Chain A
Amino acid sequence: MEGDDGLNSDKVVAPALLALHPLCKFVVVCVGSQLRAYNLLGKCQVDVKYPSAQSRHEEAIRTITFSGEGKLFVSAGDDKHVKLWDTETWQCTKTVHASKKVSATAFSCDSKWLLYADKFGVVYAMSTKLQGEGLASSVVLDQPVNLLAHCCSIITSLKCTADGKFIVTADRDFKIRVSVFPKDPLQGAHEIEGFCLGHTSFVSCIACIDVGLKSQLLVSGGGDGTVRLWEIETATLLDTVDVRDEVGIADGNFESDAVIQASAITCVCVSCDGSLIAVGVESLDGVLFLKCDLKSKRLMLLQKLVLAEHFCPTSMQFDKNGWLWLVAGAAQKTDSCKENAVTWVKVVSSSLDDTPVFTPVELESIPGGSLLFETLDGTDSDVNKAFALAEAATIAMKNELSKRQYSNEHREFRKRLRNDKKLQRKV
């Protein structure tokens, strides 16, 4: 490993993540190794129960997901532990030890399978059934099996389409792979439907538009600062929105830097009806809303919403009522093995018109009001810290996912002593 370009590698920065229960029963925020859950129906904090104190997540959690109908929840991350939770009791029912750091998780559409992807580009599948639940075969279903693999590339995002046909995986080598969901995941997913190629940098996030259309759509955001709309089955690019144009992140960065500093897209999420897409952009305080016209299959920039100064969301999700839940913040491990974690949660509602207007939700209308924020934000929600850490998390993501850039001169200089170059010079 070469030097880390100023970023101290032992100070791992992880962005805060947010997950909403599909029926709006729970909202979960995780930051660093902490998991904070809130019961929206009961309006109370949820006590997540680890089987023992030793089985807590020790390192940053990188991915959390609810299953389609909300009975299961999974958390996984840098400590290589994949934990499956029962959302009825919030008991950790199963822990799998992955061989590499886990970067993405997903449930199959029928929630029978848990998929997780690691930093070596391998996707594993594991049955979500618990031992002793009347398994027909004698196969040890507890063992995750190798489902598919990208060639040594960090998988940044993993989704299963709602129709159960495909597995979509995005990686840092600019590609999105659409694989056919196999009949028997234990045998592996060997058939590739197509590759969505178009991003000119790493693909940081993907979201499926599952609204029962004949052709399923996919939205992706990348390090190149574009949000792209794809048709999954044919892997065709339908539309591209360059966020850099739209936001006008000026700051003089464009001209001054020889290498164009693209603003990476940090997260995308799609509303339940598929018509709205919320986009988080690196160092943009606020959210971008895009309209997705499902008929013409086009994207259109609607609005840039600034929620508060320095509120730079790291993760967000729409709920079934059209509210957008956002979290900004990150966790950093300090030298003394303590975690410096900051989060800041916000909720935005949209009017359900053709041209929606977005407004922050009043504290009174949020279930539980200030208790919810106390639970999810924890004790420390210093605004400026949250901003600084979210920035650091994005930079860490970029450093991890983007390739080093070398100039042509640099490359030629490195080749100067080669025989074939010497020969060219003679000629």
Chain B
Amino acid sequence: MAPGEKKSQQPRKRFYRARAHSNPLSDSHFPVPISPAHIDWSLHFPAFFKSPLEAESEKIDLMHKESTSDLEVNDKEFSRDCCSEECVSKDPSLNHEADFMENVSVKNPSEVANVQRGQPKVSFADIGCGFGGLLVKLSPMFPDTLMVGMELRDKVSEYVKDRIMALRKENPGQYQNISIIRTNAMKYLQNYFQKGQLQKMFFLFPDPHFKERNHRRRVISVALLAEYAHVMAVGGILYTITDVQDLGEWMKACLDAHPLFEEVSSQEQELDPVVTLLKRATEEGQKVERNSGDTFQSVYRRVASSSAGC
């Protein structure tokens, strides 16, 4: 439990006990958005987006304006009534994960894209955010940046959701820029983020998967780094840390082998305020610190491809 919080408000971890591991390779049965354009981020970050009603009216305007364009407005795919009803009837900030994406995903992507044009985009992603310690620390440091945590374990993501809700209630106006998605980032990252959208990605204390035959479950691998590079902006930073030496070396080796990533020099790392958070911000990191264990971190920058000019 987060210390120093009102007991009645904050969710208590003991009600969200989950297994420490979840197989990322198994078929997932939560809804996944069809593409990034199908996500309505205003449900996650209501303070950063216009209220649904405003957006609705703007949508109608846009529809009038673009009625001559070849953007297909399919009645079957998109029913405005149904989605505005959804916004009102449910908590607008964070919906229950199971129904939420399904409802959103029936929206016509062109409509959502129209509304979201010029609006803020998520630029930090904490992959495997666990109990959300890093997000909560980062939120006041970058109050204008939208960041999202991704967690596969259902109960843990529920906990983070309730934690953020409680924090928003207790501190009006704060913690509006963080949110949580229950998903499998290894499989569906590109369904949430467009090409080059992310400025920072975090992989803090990932599941080590010691057995060799389980290495393909590791969240950092040369093949998956291609997908991470795709959603990261050139110049974006990827942070990894672990307390398992073997995994630390593995992650470093994968990042070194990938042509689209380059190590950030130690001087630069010292200047980066986020780097100090890696060790301390997360629950897992605090546990390691308590036991005075070693940590192995690597910080890499996404670089442009050398073949870009050809």
Partner-B contacts on A (CB < 8 A): 120, 122, 146, 148-153, 173-175, 179-180, 182-183, 187-192, 194-195, 197-198, 200, 403-404, 406, 408, 411, 415, 418-420, 423
B188 / chain A contacts, CB cutoff of 8 Å: 173
What is the minimal beta-carbon distance from B191 to any residue of chain A, in angstroms? 6
- Rounded to whole Å, the gap between the CB of A34 and the closest CB of chain B is 33
A415 to B259, CA, bound (A): 44
Q: Which residue of B lies closest to A408 (CB)?
A: B98
Instruction: Say which one of B10-18, B56-64, B265-273 lies at the interface with A.
Output: B10-18
- Determine the main DSSP class of A at the interface with B: loop
Q: Is A152 in contact with B305, judged by CB distance below 8 angstroms?
A: no
Q: A197-B190, A419-B14 are in contact. Are A191 and B35 (CB under 8 A)?
A: no
A187–B24 Cα gap in the complex (Å)?
A: 27
A190 CB contacts on chain B under 8 angstroms: 222, 225-226, 229, 258-260, 305
Is B227 a contact partner of A192 (Cβ separation < 8 A)?
yes
CA distance A403 to B28 in the complex (A): 8
Distance of A96 Cα from B227 Cα, bound (Å): 28
9 closest A-B pairs (Cβ-Cβ)?
A149-B223, A197-B35, A192-B230, A152-B25, A195-B190, A151-B186, A419-B15, A190-B226, A420-B15
In the complex, what distance in Å separates the CA atom of A191 from the CA atom of B34?
Answer: 22
Q: Please name all residues of chain B whose beta carbon is closer than 8 Å to the beta carbon of A404 when the two chains form the complex.
A: 27, 29
Contact with A along B189-209 (1 / 0, CB 8 A): 011000100000000000000
Which residues of A sit under 8 angstroms from B24, Cβ to Cβ?
151
| Alpha-carbon gap, A188 to B259, bound state (A) | 10
A153 to B224, alpha carbons, bound, how many Å? 13
Within 8 A of A (CB), among B275-299: none
Does B216 touch A at the CB level, under 8 Å?
yes
Other 6 A-B pairs with CB < 8 A, given A151-B227, A190-B229 = A146-B223, A192-B227, A200-B34, A404-B29, A415-B154, A419-B14
Separation in Å of the B76 CB from the closest CB of chain A? Answer: 10
B interface residue count range (under 10 / 10 to 19 / 20 to 34 / 35 or more): 35 or more
Cβ of B155 under 8 Å from chain A = yes
Dominant SS among interface residues on chain B: helix
Measured in the bound complex, the distance between the Cα atoms of B224 and A188 in whole Å is: 12
Judged by a CB distance under 8 angstroms, whether B171 is at the interface is: no
Indicate if the CB atoms of A192 and B229 lie closer than 8 Å.
yes
A148 to B226, CA, bound (A): 8
CB distance from B196 to the nearest CB of A (A): 11
- Most B Cβ at <10 Å: residue of A122, A152, A182: A152
Q: Does B89 contact A (CB under 8 A)?
A: no
Closest CB of chain A to B183's CB: distance in Å?
Answer: 12
Residue of B nearest to A240 (CB): B72
Q: Give the shortest distance, in Å, between A268 (CB) and chain B (any CB).
A: 20
A188 touches B307 (CB 8 A): no
How many angstroms from the CA of A183 to the CA of B306 in the assembled complex?
11
Q: Which one of A150, A192, A198 contacts B35 once the chains associate, using CB atoms below 8 Å?
A: A198
Residues B260 and A148 in contact, CB atoms below 8 Å apart: no
- Distance between Cα atoms of A20 and B172 in the complex (Å): 67
**Nearest chain-B residue to A242 (Cβ)?**
B76
Q: Are B222 and A188 in contact (CB under 8 A)?
A: yes
Q: Mark B233-263, 1 if CB is under 8 A from A, else 0.
A: 0000000000000000000000000111000
Q: How far is the CB of B77 from chain A (nearest CB, A)?
A: 10
Q: In the complex the two chains form, is B225's CB within 8 Å of A403's CB?
A: no
The answer, among B17, B155, B222, B305, for a CB contact under 8 Å with A191, is B305
B27 interface neighbour in A182, A192, A403, A420, Cβ under 8 Å: A403
The closest CB in chain A to the CB of B257 belongs to: A188
Asked if A151 and B223 sit within 8 Å, CB to CB, the answer is yes
> Chain B nearest CB: distance from A298 CB in Å?
9
CB neighbours of B159 from chain A (8 A): 420
Binary flags per residue of B165-187, CB closer than 8 Å to A gives 1, else 0: 00000000000000000000011
Q: How far does the Cβ of B84 sit from chain A's closest Cβ, in whole Å?
A: 22
What CA separation (Å) do A222 and B198 show in the bound complex?
A: 30
Candidates A173, A179, A194; contact of B195 at CB < 8 Å: A194
Whether A180 touches B16, Cβ cut-off 8 Å, given contacts A122-B223, A173-B187, A192-B229, is: no
Residues of chain B with a CB closer than 8 A to A122's CB? 223
Q: Does B158 contact A (CB under 8 A)?
A: yes
Query: Given the complex, which residues of A lie within 8 Å of B16, measured CB to CB?
Result: 419-420
Which residue among B14, B15, B223 has the maximum number of chain A CB atoms within 10 Å of its CB? B223
